[in-house]
Structure 1
Amino acid sequence: MISDFKITEFFCLIDDFCTEINQVIDKNALETCSKIVRRRKPKLTQSEIITIMVLFHFSGFRCFKHFYIEYVSKHLSKEFPDLVSYNRFVELKKRCSVPMILFLQMHCLGQCTGISFLDSTTIKVCHYKREKQNKVFKNTAKKGKGTMGWFFGFKLHIIINEKGDIVDFLITQGNIDDRQPLKDKAFHNRVFGKIFADRGYVGKELFEQLFVDGIHLVTKIRKNMKNTLMHIYDKIMLRKRAVIESVNDILKNVCQIEHTRHRSFDNFILNLVAGLIAYSFYPTKPNITLVRDSFIFFVGYRY
């Protein structure tokens, strides 16, 4: 199901990163006032915990508990000789939130090439009619409306390049407008050139703000708007914007960043971050091939 090469590759990359991060933290950590400092380390290291969490998104299992008990404990005991119980693993993985987020930010995000695609997707935590009964995401998740109707949860905003690599991402509550994250320069600080988005991002103020920052926002016009001239290249690229829809489909149905079995907000964030890390290591991603010949651009999908 999961090759030994992938397990070794993941573990080596994550272990080297965790070693460097721990050295930086120990060097810059503040001294504690308490005389007694507990130095006991758990059996499973941070790199082993992160590796298991990322491998779950390659396994095809729908439930992490079933994956850990039925697959990791039985078939990966040689790779992880110091496995702990499932309940203990759930307690330990919360300590790995900072290294996982830093690893995603520093090693898994792609580079902007001047051609970017922007979209948001809903992350449902339960059915919207049961929002008042949900205690895990009380006061955190919000009710919103997307293209598929009402939902209760969060929104994942992602920017990708034409190669299918995620350039940047942002998580917001479900009732936040799609245009609001773009107004924050920290979200598009790594982006330049043109961004192709859907009609939900139409806005004169947003367009002018991004244009000052060196970004050209290209969207289709709405039905009640006057028609405007557009370059043929921009029209072709808008038709190929479906590539980001394919990325969202992989994140939700293959990497499983969305499910309704969360028991804490920390586990929700860790599952989403692990899914984004797993996607960055996928060998094939939805992408677009751009070929220049005599100033004519030929655009097509490549899988």
Structure 2
Amino acid sequence: MNTKTNNKDYNLVKIYYYVCEKFEDNLQFRCQRFSNNNAPKLTDQEIITIYLFVMQHHGIFKMNKIHQFAREYLLDWFPDLGSYQAFNNRLNRISCAMDLFLETLLSEFAPKECAKNFSVLDSMPIITCSGKRQGKVAQEITAKGYCSTKSMYYYGMKLHDLGFCNAGRLPHSEQIIFTPACVNDLSLYKEAWSEIENRTFFGDKIYNDTGLFQNMKHNFNSEMLTTVKAVKGMADVLRKFDRACNDLYSRAVSKIRQPIEALFSWLIEKSDIQRASKVRSTKGLILHAYGRIAAAFITLIF
């Protein structure tokens, strides 16, 4: 048997073992069945394993292609695979467990060398359709927003990432939160992370809020360092006077922040998460968001 086949089989078994372990711990309580069909031949653990393995190991992201690959190459492992419609419905039904699975994955495999008192944070768009159209999918968790990086309006969600700094490597995500696209990054930070104690955060200028910074320093011994934001109405002579200092400071903060942008590029490459235009339901979008990120980070278990 060749090495490539061995690696594939090892990865499949390793993912299945981890999913079963976490399912027994807590995931099962998110997908309990209260019907006569509470013990299907193809288990929830097998469904999740197929979904994660095909994306992680083979880079296939479309649901019908995942099912097609499983039918052609994994039927010896999963003989009760069934139809594509049933496979898709089952995955959507257990989408509610994927956020807990991702949270567990990130917490259990955090690298020991991470600097737990230094964090970088940023956001990126998950696009269900362009801003020129009216978004009609998963309206309860999506909205219209603007992405300054891409200079575009869009409908969808935002992925907000808080990551531990890891010198010379990509930051490790401490927590990932999805919000409607209209939610401001600073508002999310105030609500979710501004009360973390003894932490130094590095963010973009959108997180700049002097009053908040003073409160964080006084009450939680934490601080946020951001690139310098221009002050409206400042005299030109004063702006030029401070330019050298501000530029040097902003470059230093940006250098520390740069790895989280590299992390987003890696996530897009590994999961194609930004493109959600094929999603047709709220459960499908939840599965898309948490499932694809989990598939990218599943490499941590190897």
2-side partners of 1:79 and 1:281: how far apart?
20
2-side partners of 1:158 and 1:25: how far apart?
24
1:196: which partner in 2?
202
The residue identity in structure 2 corresponding to 1:247 is: L
TM-score normalised to structure 2 length: 0.79
Over 3 Å counting, the alpha-carbon distance change for 1:269 and 1:209 in structure 2 is farther
Unaligned runs of 5+ in 2: none
Asked whether 1:8 is paired with 2:7, we answer no
Asked whether 1:106 is paired with 2:113, we answer no
1:127: which partner in 2?
130
Over 3 Å counting, the alpha-carbon distance change for 1:190 and 1:278 in structure 2 is farther
1-side partners of 2:30 and 2:300: how far apart?
33
Asked whether 1:249 is paired with 2:265, we answer yes
**Post-superposition offset of 1:106:** 2.2
TM-score normalised to structure 1 length: 0.78
Asked whether 1:168 is paired with 2:191, we answer no
**Post-superposition offset of 1:44:** 1.5
The residue identity in structure 2 corresponding to 1:197 is: G
1:68: which partner in 2?
67
Share of identical aligned residues, percent?
23
| CA shift digits 1:167-186 (9 cap, x unpaired) | 0111111111110111124x
**Post-superposition offset of 1:266:** 0.6
2-side partners of 1:191 and 1:9: how far apart?
36
| Range with bigger deviation, 50-59 or 147-156 | 50-59
Over 3 Å counting, the alpha-carbon distance change for 1:99 and 1:177 in structure 2 is closer
2:160: which partner in 1?
157
**Post-superposition offset of 1:64:** 2.2
**Post-superposition offset of 1:237:** 5.0
The residue identity in structure 1 corresponding to 2:67 is: Y
8 Å CA contact 1:18, 1:99 repeated in 2: no
8 Å CA contact 1:21, 1:99 repeated in 2: no
1:287: which partner in 2?
none
| Range with bigger deviation, 210-219 or 45-54 | 210-219
2-side partners of 1:88 and 1:240: how far apart?
46
Over 3 Å counting, the alpha-carbon distance change for 1:91 and 1:62 in structure 2 is closer
2:290: which partner in 1?
273
2-side partners of 1:210 and 1:188: how far apart?
7
The residue identity in structure 1 corresponding to 2:142 is: A
The residue identity in structure 2 corresponding to 1:255 is: S
The residue identity in structure 1 corresponding to 2:271 is: C
**Post-superposition offset of 1:223:** 2.7
| CA shift digits 1:154-210 (9 cap, x unpaired) | 11110111232110111111111110111124x466674211111111111332343
| Range with bigger deviation, 138-147 or 121-130 | 138-147
8 Å CA contact 2:197, 2:220 repeated in 1: no
Over 3 Å counting, the alpha-carbon distance change for 1:156 and 1:22 in structure 2 is closer
In the alignment of these two chains, the number of paired residues is 271
8 Å CA contact 1:128, 1:152 repeated in 2: yes
2-side partners of 1:174 and 1:92: how far apart?
27
2-side partners of 1:166 and 1:233: how far apart?
25
Over 3 Å counting, the alpha-carbon distance change for 1:63 and 1:207 in structure 2 is same
1-side partners of 2:127 and 2:206: how far apart?
20
Over 3 Å counting, the alpha-carbon distance change for 1:192 and 1:3 in structure 2 is farther
1:300: which partner in 2?
none
Over 3 Å counting, the alpha-carbon distance change for 1:23 and 1:202 in structure 2 is closer
Over 3 Å counting, the alpha-carbon distance change for 1:207 and 1:188 in structure 2 is closer
Query: Secondary structure in 1 aligned to 2:185?
Result: coil
| Range with bigger deviation, 275-284 or 99-108 | 275-284
8 Å CA contact 2:200, 2:222 repeated in 1: yes
Query: Secondary structure in 2 aligned to 1:176?
Result: coil
1:115: which partner in 2?
118
8 Å CA contact 1:183, 1:209 repeated in 2: no
2-side partners of 1:220 and 1:18: how far apart?
43
**Post-superposition offset of 1:283:** 5.6
8 Å CA contact 1:137, 1:265 repeated in 2: yes
**Post-superposition offset of 1:87:** 0.3
| Range with bigger deviation, 106-115 or 78-87 | 106-115
